[in-house]
Amino acid sequence: MRIALDAMGGDHGPEELITGAILALEETDLELTLVGDESAIGACLETLNPAGSVSKRMQVLHTTEVVEMGESPVDAIRKKKNSSVMLAFDLAKKGEAAAAVSAGNSGATLAAGIRKLGRIKNISRPGIANAFPTLKKPVIMMDVGANVDCRPQHLFQFAVMASAFAGVYNIKSPRVGILSIGEEAGKGNQLVKETWDLLSESSLNFIGNVEGRDIYMGDVDVIVCDGFVGNISLKVSEGLVEAATQMFREGIMSSTIAKLGYLLARPVFKKIKKRVDYAEYGGAPLLGLNGTGIICHGKSNSVAIKNAILVAQQVVEIEVNNKIIASLAENTAASQVVS
Amino acid sequence: MRIALDAMGGDHGPEELITGAILALEETDLELTLVGDESAIGACLETLNPAGSVSKRMQVLHTTEVVEMGESPVDAIRKKKNSSVMLAFDLAKKGEAAAAVSAGNSGATLAAGIRKLGRIKNISRPGIANAFPTLKKPVIMMDVGANVDCRPQHLFQFAVMASAFAGVYNIKSPRVGILSIGEEAGKGNQLVKETWDLLSESSLNFIGNVEGRDIYMGDVDVIVCDGFVGNISLKVSEGLVEAATQMFREGIMSSTIAKLGYLLARPVFKKIKKRVDYAEYGGAPLLGLNGTGIICHGKSNSVAIKNAILVAQQVVEIEVNNKIIASLAENTAASQVVS
């Protein structure tokens, strides 16, 4: 299987991305096409893989056009037809790659994916699914930012798509919850109430509403919400971890004894960090595309890139899209395209 | 100044509430009326304050009727006219107390407050403001759960009300942000975009959109959002702290060296805990009432109750409601009641 990697996206530049690509090749028998500036990629490879141990499974598709982080996605994909992200999805479209992975401008990645691959039949709106670490298995939240104003039908389709994706984490018959404020039926806003009616008549394993605090408990597998609420949940979590880490660092540095204590307890911190580290979960799949695309956080390090490539491989191997199509066929109420 | 305390609400029973009341009396020259079962309250007081040092400043208003945690708020306040929460707000209505404080059923507390005190003129919807700990001063988010489906006008009024309340934390000219996904104008859902237009023409210190991760950074003072998003942000934060604490506890218990390290670093943990502890911030004010009401978390301990009483005192002393009225007069566009 060959996967296309946008080698120009991300905050850390090609070196971090290519390190991730090499890690992925070392762990699997995948083939990769790196899309980006040939000379920059070549220079990185000379430094990072001087023996050329993985170079046989790595091709380069040359382009110097890049979508910048701050650019308007719609403008960018219209004007920059030869940008690395557009060419990566073009490979996926032509069947020369099974999936495209990018850590660049998320909006442009989504737009490029939709433009090049189109949508699965009857899916109204592709969205972004994100795996959150929990006390048990990861929980998959969808949508985390692609669709800010949603209708109940969209959330129903997110439930169908994220349930299919849950197979990547070996979750069978995933429990589906609607993110709301209060667990009882009837608690929540209008969107939640109408989505409840649709999901309760579906073939999905619908368990009702879940609250914000349930995200990290691990007693639900798939949480659906609109992209506004999902993105805020994600960012609130990131901000809280960042603030707590900073408070902790300041506290530890203020006392020698505390510093010693920290050193002794450090393996525990490392273990927790690994357990909750976004990098361990790889990228977030764009579900609903007629093909496979993975968005990575702009700040992704090489481990995150490696895991995103592995997630892409998994999505293809377990045939997430065929599972989505089968589930839509079972749930005809979900199979209506709604703008 | 006299404050009415619902002595029957909360998960821990009267003893915790009354301990909080005694702490508040010891720190201030307030007077309190405890509303609840006279004999239960009497028994608690005998144990908790045998010398009767604060009893002169404490009255009891007897009732045995209680709104339970799971009850429908609307039904409860209609049927239970003599419930402790209704009588507490009745004292506030009659001017026999300057404010009412309850740790009982939040919905019923809100409903009782609106029923007994009514709304400030031109305020469409009272809401719940909540102070979040940050790396700097607390940030006040409104609404965190009273109003799930909101219109731009409501968020504008939340901004007016929460800005007035910020005075309790000595925040002058509070910076107001709209919770959204992306900082630029035009990023967010329909509600955010229309609220942006209203706030940018107001006399408030509007700084634009803020993202979920900004809540804990302390670079904004007031964050407005609908009660659905606000409640989820609050609960996501609670859940994350709970899950992280549990992971940490399990990790520490698994190794003697880590346990020793934890003991050495414990003062740092304690300091952070105090800094982020909801109990330190007291209750959440119901803003928009024609009077003063404070909602406490059901799980409030005595320190949280004490601080809620102190917040009530502060809200009255700095005349938050008069500040709201003055701000509405300055912002005539905010002064339109919208259903």
Q: What pLDDT, in 10s, does the model give residues A178-198?
A: 999 988 888 899 999 999 999
Domain ranges in chain B with CATH number 3.40.718.10: 1-117, 122-280+320-339
Minimal Cβ distance to A239: which of B216, B227, B243: B216
Q: Which of A145, A258, A267 lies at the smallest CB-CB distance from B268?
A: A258
Residues of A whose CB is below 8 A from B238: 212-213
Contact B228 A189 (CB under 8 A): yes
pLDDT bucket at A339, cuts 50 / 70 / 90: low
Cβ within 8 Å of residue B285, ≥6 positions away: B128, B129, B165, B292, B293, B294, B295, B311, B312, B315, B320
More confident residue, A271 or B63: B63
**B254 contacts on A by Cβ (under 8 Å):** 268
Q: For residue A337, what pLDDT is reported?
A: 67
- Right CATH number for B122-280+320-339 from 2.40.30.10, 3.40.50.150, 3.40.718.10, 3.30.465.10? 3.40.718.10
Contact B71, B105 (CB under 8 A): yes
Cis peptide bond N-terminal to B143, omega within 30: yes
- What average pLDDT does this structure show over B188-210? 95
| pLDDT tens-place string over residues A39-52 | 999 999 999 988 88
The confidence score (pLDDT) of residue B28 equals 96
What does the pLDDT average to over A215-220? 92
Q: Name the residue in chain B with its Cα closest to that of A234.
A: B212
Read off the pLDDT band of B279 (50, 70, 90): low
User: Searching chain B, which residue's CA lies closest to the CA of residue A145?
Assistant: B181
Between vectors from CA A117 to CA A116 and to CA A122, what angle results, nearest 5°? 135
| Average pLDDT over every residue of A21-48 | 95
pLDDT value, residue B163: 98
pLDDT tens digit sequence for B241-255: 888 888 888 888 888
pLDDT of residue B198: 94
pLDDT exceeds 80 at position B339: no
Interchain pair A247, B214: CB under 8 A: no
Structure tokens given for A175: 């429990």
Q: Which of chain A's residues have a Cβ under 8 Å away from the Cβ of B267?
A: 255, 258
**pLDDT attached to residue B270:** 82
Bridge partners, residue B304, by sequence:
none
Edge to edge, the sheet with strand B222-224 lists: B58-62, B31-36, B2-6, B99-102, B293-295, B284-287, B127-132, B139-142, B222-224, B175-179, B205-210
pLDDT at B151 over 70: yes
Q: A217: which chain B residues are within 8 Å (Cβ-Cβ)? A: 239, 242-243
* Residue A36 pLDDT class (50, 70, 90 cuts): very high
Please calculate the CA angle B297-B29-B61 and round it to the nearest 5 degrees: 60
The Cα of A138 is separated from the nearest Cα of chain B by a number of Å equal to: 13
Shortest Cα distance, chain A CAs vs residue B127, angstroms: 15
- The token duo for B250 is 């399990």
* Optimal mutation site among B216, B242, B297, interface A, most CBs of chain A within 10 A: B216
Please judge whether A251 and B268 are an interchain contact, meaning their C-beta atoms are less than 8 angstroms apart.
Answer: yes
Q: Average pLDDT for residues B289-304, to the nearest whole number?
A: 94
Q: What is the pTM of this model?
A: 0.91
| Interchain pair B216, A145: CB under 8 A | no
**Does residue B18 have a pLDDT over 80?**
yes
Q: Give the pLDDT of residue A4.
A: 98
Which residues of chain A lie closer than 8 angstroms to B134, CB-CB? 243
* Alpha carbon distance B28, B25 (integer Å): 5
Q: CA nearest B270: which of A203, A247, A60, A256?
A: A247
- 3 state SS of A329: helix
pLDDT value for B315? 97
Query: At the top level of CATH, which class does the domain B1-117 belong to?
Result: alpha beta
Q: Please tell me which of the candidates B135, B235, B255 has its beta carbon nearest to residue A212.
A: B235
> CA-to-CA distance for B298 and B320, rounded, in angstroms?
25
Do residues B300 and B103 touch, judged by C-beta distance below 8 A?
Answer: yes
pLDDT digits (tens, 9 = 90+) for A221-262: 999 999 999 999 999 998 888 888 888 888 888 888 888 888
Query: Which amino acid makes up residue B241?
Result: V
For A129, A199, A213, B231, B243, the CA distances from A210, given in Å and listed in that order, are 17, 14, 8, 12, 16
Please, are residues A228 and B181 in contact by the beta-carbon 8 Å criterion? yes
- The mean per-residue pLDDT over the stretch B283-296 comes to 96
A188 contacts in B (CB within 8 Å)?
Answer: 148, 228
pLDDT score of B133: 85
How deeply is A322 buried, as exposed, middle or buried, from its count of CB atoms within 10 A (0-12, 13-18, 19+)?
exposed
Residue with the bigger pLDDT between B2 and A74: it is B2
CA distance B190 to chain A (A): 7
Does residue A218 or residue A93 have the better pLDDT? A93
Which pLDDT score, from 0 to 100, does residue A291 have? 98
Work out the mean pLDDT of chain A and round it to a whole number: 92
- In angstroms, how far is CA B260 from the centroid of its own chain? 38
The answer to whether residue A140 scores a pLDDT higher than 70 is: yes
Q: What count of other Cβ atoms lies within 10 Å of the Cβ of residue A253?
A: 12
Q: Let me know: does B147 contact A200? Beta carbons within 8 Å.
A: no
Provide the shortest C-alpha distance from residue A217 to chain B (in Å). Answer: 7
Top CATH class, A124-281+321-339: alpha beta
Question: What value does the mean pLDDT take over residues B225-236?
Answer: 95
Which pLDDT score, from 0 to 100, does residue B226 have?
A: 96
